[in-house]
Structure 1
Amino acid sequence: MTDDVLISAERGVARLRLNRPKAIHALTTEMCEAMSEALLRWRTDSNIQCVVIDHAEGRGFCAGGDVVMLAKSGAGDAHKAKEFFFAEYRLNHLLFTYDKPTIAIMDGITMGGGVGISQPCTLRVATENTRLAMPETGIGLFPDVGGGWYLSRLPGRVGQFMALSGARLDGAECAYLGLATHYIPNASLGELVERIVKAPDRVQGTLGAAAETPPEPKIAGNQALINRLFASDRLEEILAALEADESEWSEKELLTLRTKSPLSCKVSLRLLAEGADRASFADEMRAEYALAGRVVRTHDFKEGVHALLIDKHNQPQWNPPIAEGVSDDMLDELFAPLPKSEQWTPFPETGE
């Protein structure tokens, strides 16, 4: 067990509260395993009617998986990385298939692994503080934890835009895109949880009563541009479209994409293209697990984590340095399925 997750139950409401404020509640293997253990226990407990997931203190819900921990422990060391991804993806899938209402309160930073534990939830609360993003291409990774499933199902090409750019969405944008089911001010969250505890069998109504109309979402004004300029599944064509557009917005996004790992960007585009046709979320997790185990052994992952999160000089030297250097053969190697004995598997209790 770990003190990095506060686990409790009161009057039919089970609670998982992330408790690593100095790391903005970044997930570790132990945290994923502790949450899964509690969820499996509550799954068959007739006294538990719903589960609330939030953070105990600090400025964000969850900054992601602890990739710094992985890198420092050698998560280029494949075993540590695979152990983490296996546990994290089991938690993601368990939440996706959970048969009791789950409520994620995405107050503050919600990135990477934080998206992975909020998006499978039945109800997802955004606030004025929410900043949701999948910023993995900046560290040589890709939008995992179900990113290939969720992002590929967003309107138009918004998912591809998010995956490549790492764009941060605010609470209003999350509500507009369906990434959040309710927009509730931060000041109302304490009372919201109290009301859920008083009536755990009426969570939908409780959230509906507390919800407010969000401000106008900024992304709505750029959606036509996003759909047009990010229309291709080829990175070279997206970059060319942004270059040719010559608008202030496209110039800014082009500069952003130039800072990302070309390998990660191409991996992300292919993941979303394949994820759109994936038959089940379990299949998505299997594919992402095979991919993640290989990507963390690449030059770009080690380079990106050190450049942005450890040494913090913010000048990663990607290899290959340009989109044209990433071949289809390189991608085929990363996307190859694992032998059956090495594949990711869900918890047997989920029946998949």
Structure 2
Amino acid sequence: MTDELITRRESGVGFLTLNRPKAIHALTAAMDHAMTDALLAWKDDAAVKAVIIDHSEGRGFCAGGDIAFLRNSALTDNGVSGLAFFYEEYQLNHLLFTYPKPVVAFVDGITMGGGVGISQPAKYRVATENTRFAMPETGIGLFPDVGGGWFLSRLPGRLGQYLALTGARIDGSECVWAGLATHYLPADQLAEAKARIVAGHEIAGALTALSVTPPDAKIAAHASEIARHFASDRYEDILASLEADPSEWAAKTLATLHTKSPQTCKVALRQLADSARLGDFADNMAMEYRIAARVLTRPDFAEGVRAVIVDKTNDPKWDPATPEGVTDELIESIFAPLPADKEWKPL
């Protein structure tokens, strides 16, 4: 057990409450362990009818995984402990995706990376006016993992490719518009929603009764541009398309992409393209584990975290430095199968 996760039961509902507010509830190995243990214990317990994932105080649901730990692993143990973290985190993601009981995730506030991984598998995903959703991994040389390949590749109009490459933050109304959230509730109604679920109200009905019409989704105004410019699975094509567009939006988007890891951008496009062809979430997670096994110890990850999170200089020196430098052979090596005894497997 860990103080970083509050596990409790109220009537027929199991609660997993993230409790690391100073780190915006970023996931640690202990938190992953505790969530997995609780979910397995509740899985065959007839008294538990549903699971709620939420967070204690603080300005976010979950800022992601423990990036400092992962970078330290890359620098000190050749990624061994970091890869063990990914292995168990991906098992938690898969357990949630296949869970036989309804899961409700209240994504109130910052929801990024690992926070996306534990909320997107939920049957009910409740956004609020505070929600800020993003997969920002291209900015730190990682990649949109924790099931990102599966969820992003299945969004309409190439929106997933746009979110994966740019790391753009979208709000609660935009999450509903995109299909990333199922309900939009005012933040001050979340306690009431949880109380109704605990009281035995039918979940969908309880959430719908308290839902409000979200504001217009700002990103919708750029849907046609996103679909057009991000249509290709070849990164150079996307850059060329944006370069040929004189609009302010295209210029801003291109400037954003120029700050990202070229390696990660090419990995993400291949990841989403491959995932879209998969029929099983477990196969997606096995693919993402192979990517993690290679990307964790490549230069861009430690350098990206240094520049963006540790030193906050925002001046990463990517290696390779250009999209052209990221060869097809490099990408193939990142996606290559692992030895049979090293491959990821679900619980």
- Where on the TM-score scale, by shorter chain, does this alignment land: which range? over 0.9
- In the other structure, the counterpart of 1:118 is 119
CA–CA separation in structure 2 for the residues paired with 1:78 and 1:8:
34
In 2, are the aligned partners of 1:75 and 1:81 still within 8 Å (CA)?
no
Distance 1:243 1:74 in 2: 35
Report sequence identity in percent. 58
| Structure 1 range deviating more: 303-312 or 118-127 | 303-312
For the structure 1 residues 74 and 235, does the alpha-carbon distance in structure 2 shift closer, same or farther, using more than 3 Å as the test? closer
Aligned 1:1-352 pairs, distance under 5 A? 1-74=1-74, 77-199=78-200, 202-347=202-347
Measured in 1, the distance between the counterparts of 2:324 and 2:246 equals: 22
- Pair 1:189–1:315, CA change in 2 (3 A): same
1:72 offset after TM fit, Å? 2.7
Q: Distance in 2 between matches of 1:289 and 1:134?
A: 17
Rate the CA distance shift 1:312–1:87 in 2: closer, same or farther, 3 A. Answer: same
Give the counterpart letter for 2:83 in structure 1.
K
> C-alpha distance in 1, partners of 2:42/2:165?
37
Q: Which amino acid aligns with 2:8?
A: S
1:47-98 deviation per Cα after TM superposition (whole angstroms, max 9, x unaligned): 0000000101100000001111221344663211111101110000000000
- The answer on whether the counterparts of 1:158 and 1:226 sit within 8 Å (CA) in structure 2 is yes
Amino acid at match of 1:182: H
CA contact (8 A) 2:262 2:321 kept: yes
Residues 70, 79 of structure 2: 8 Å contact kept: no
Contact 2:73 2:80 in 1 (8 A): no
**What secondary structure sits across from 1:104 in the alignment?**
strand
Cα distance in 2 for partners of 1:233, 1:74 equals 29
Contact 2:74/2:297 (<8 A) preserved? no
C-alpha RMSD of the superposition: 0.9
**Structure 1-normalised TM-score?**
0.97
Q: Distance in 2 between matches of 1:322 and 1:344?
A: 31
**Unaligned 5+ residue runs, structure 2?**
none
Q: Secondary structure at the match of 1:17?
A: strand
One-letter amino acid of the counterpart of residue 80, structure 1 = S
Secondary structure of the 2:146 match is coil
Length-normalised TM-score, structure 2: 0.98
Give the conservation status (yes or no) of the 8 Å contact 1:124–1:179. Answer: yes
Query: What is the deviation of 1:195?
Result: 1.2
Supply the distance in 1 between the matched residues of 2:245 and 2:310 (Cα, whole angstroms).
Answer: 36
Offset at 1:279? 2.0
CA offsets per residue over residues 114-158 of structure 1, 9 Å max, x none?
A: 000000001000000000000000000110011111100000110
| Deviation per residue, 1:170-221 (Å, 9 max, x gap) | 0000001110000001011111111111115x11111111111111101111
C-alpha distance in 2, partners of 1:259/1:205?
44
C-alpha separation between the residues in 2 aligned to 1:293 and 1:29? Answer: 17
Q: How far apart, in 1, do the equivalents of 2:5 and 2:293 lie?
A: 26
Aligned amino acid, residue 144 of structure 2: P
Deviations for 1:21-48, whole angstroms, at most 9, x for unmatched residues?
1111111111111100000000011100
Whole-angstrom distance in 2 between the partners of 1:61 and 1:289: 24
Look up the equivalent residue of 1:126 and give its one-letter code: A
User: How many residues align structurally?
Assistant: 346
Q: Which runs of 5+ in 1 are unaligned?
A: 348-352
The residue matched to 2:145 in structure 1 has which SS?
A: coil
